[in-house]
Amino acid sequence: MSAEPLIKLTGVVVAVTGLSHFVRPELFESATKSAFPENTRQHTYIDGGIETAIGLALVAPKSRKFALAGLLAYGAYLGLNVARNR
């Protein structure tokens, strides 16, 4: 069985979650605040844009490697900011 449908579904879910940051930013602000205690709303929108881009890149096979690299970089970016703001 091919993993392709699951990868595409994951991409759609990540992209929709990213877009949700713009529609209902208050849902994400408590989580965002731990990484970005200042200008939290701005960072919520930035995170939403990043997640939308990563999700869309996961959907297209030609951009999937870039999406995975972006996902790793995004995870490091968030993790380092959480650690820095403890």
Sole residue written with tokens 């392709």? 4
20-77: pLDDT as tens digits = 999 999 999 999 999 999 999 999 999 999 999 999 999 999 999 999 999 999 999 9
pTM of structure:
0.92
3-31: pLDDT as tens digits = 899 999 999 999 999 999 999 999 999 99
- CA 19 to chain centroid, in Å, comes to 10
User: Looking at residue 80, what is its pLDDT?
Assistant: 97
User: Looking at residue 66, what is its pLDDT?
Assistant: 97
3-class SS of residue 86: coil
Decide: 43 and 32 in contact? Cβ < 8 Å: yes
